[in-house]
Amino acid sequence: MADKLILGGHEFTSRFILGSGKYSLDLINAAVHHAGAQIITLALRRANEGGVANILDYIPSGVTLLPNTSGARNAEEAVRIARLSRECGCGDFVKIEIMRDSKYLLPDNQETIRATEILAKEGFIVMPYMYPDLNVARDLAGAGAACVMPLGAPIGTNKGLTTREFIQILIDEIDLPIIVDAGIGRPSQACEAMEMGAAAVMANTAIATAGDIPAMAAAFRQAIEAGRTAYLAGLGRVRETASASSPLTGFLHD
């Protein structure tokens, strides 16, 4: 059976969600191609319909748009942006980003749950960006989220899986795809997330700030595929300690 990522009933073979911000519009096409990405995020606030430098004009056809609600400070604003996005013809997918902090751009989990509940009821395929917390992830699942998107590190930092232990708990306990979003700085970190059992990885800054954007997109693609294959193959065990020469249970055989 083919290994597919399923989100809101839609099937994808790529597990690399590419961001479209922070780099030149005319590189988006090459980045998507090299990434093999089937989903691309975009900030709706950046869309300039009918105007100059409209990002929507640069996204290749056939790629699923994942508009995000960046700029929203609470659930109400996120809901309004999502509705606008649908009206603009950006489809039913929405990535909820709600930040009340302009310095670190950390997501507001409570407001994200509220927005998820409202938008899922309206038929959106809701992909919430969140701080990895098991209780919140359960609430998001209960509210109708299509997946859960925990951050690996603060947005834009390229620091990698600083929340590794907590993401692992989500992977182990939540029945939805867990997509690691934000903070992934290197292909090796994306690979590690996939080895852990993440369903997909979303990356933007790591690619946008690379010297050669299409080449870095390709490197991430390969790393994500390798990590996924390793996860499916079942990683070999890692011994925490060496085998003791005098086992504690040896007395049973004396």
Stretch of 1-9, 78-86, 134-142, 229-237 contacting other proteins, by CB under 8 A: 78-86
Closest approach, Cβ 167 to other proteins, in A, equals 22
Q: How many CB atoms lie within 10 A of CB 243?
A: 6
Closest approach, Cβ 157 to other proteins, in A, equals 7
Is residue 74 within 8 Å of 99, Cβ to Cβ?
Answer: no
SS3 category, 129: strand
> Among all chains, which residue has been given the structure tokens 């310095």?
103
Nearer to other proteins, 96 or 199 (CB): 96
Is residue 143 within 8 Å of 163, Cβ to Cβ?
Answer: no
Residue 48 binding other proteins, by CB under 8 A: yes
Closest approach, Cβ 132 to other proteins, in A, equals 21
Rounded CA-CA distance 58/26 in Å is 7
Residue 57 binding other proteins, by CB under 8 A: no
Stretch of 143-151, 152-160, 193-201, 245-253 contacting other proteins, by CB under 8 A: 152-160
Angle, alpha carbons 218-224-229 (nearest 5°): 125
> Both tokens of residue 48?
């300039």
Beta-strand ranges (E) seen in 200-240 are 200-203
Residue from 29, 30, 59, 71 touching other proteins (CB under 8 A): that is 71
Stretch of 29-37, 44-52, 142-150, 244-252 contacting other proteins, by CB under 8 A: 44-52
Residue 47 binding other proteins, by CB under 8 A: yes
Q: Sort 26 into a burial class: Cβ within 10 Å, 0-12 / 13-18 / 19+.
A: exposed
Residue from 72, 136, 190, 200 touching other proteins (CB under 8 A): that is 72
Is residue 127 within 8 Å of 146, Cβ to Cβ?
Answer: yes
Task: Give catalytic residues, as residue numbers.
Answer: 95
Residue 157 binding other proteins, by CB under 8 A: yes
Establish whether 68 is an annotated binding residue.
Answer: no
Establish whether 215 is an annotated binding residue.
Answer: no
Helix (H) or strand (E) run with residue 167 in it? helix 164-173
Nearer to other proteins, 67 or 144 (CB): 67
What is the pairing mode between strands 16-18 and 93-96? unpaired
Residue 22 binding other proteins, by CB under 8 A: yes
As annotated, the binding site includes: 156, 182-183, 204-205
Q: Would you tell me which residues interact with other proteins (CB under 8 A)?
A: 21-25, 43-48, 51-53, 71-73, 77, 80-81, 84, 99-103, 105, 156-158, 205, 208-209
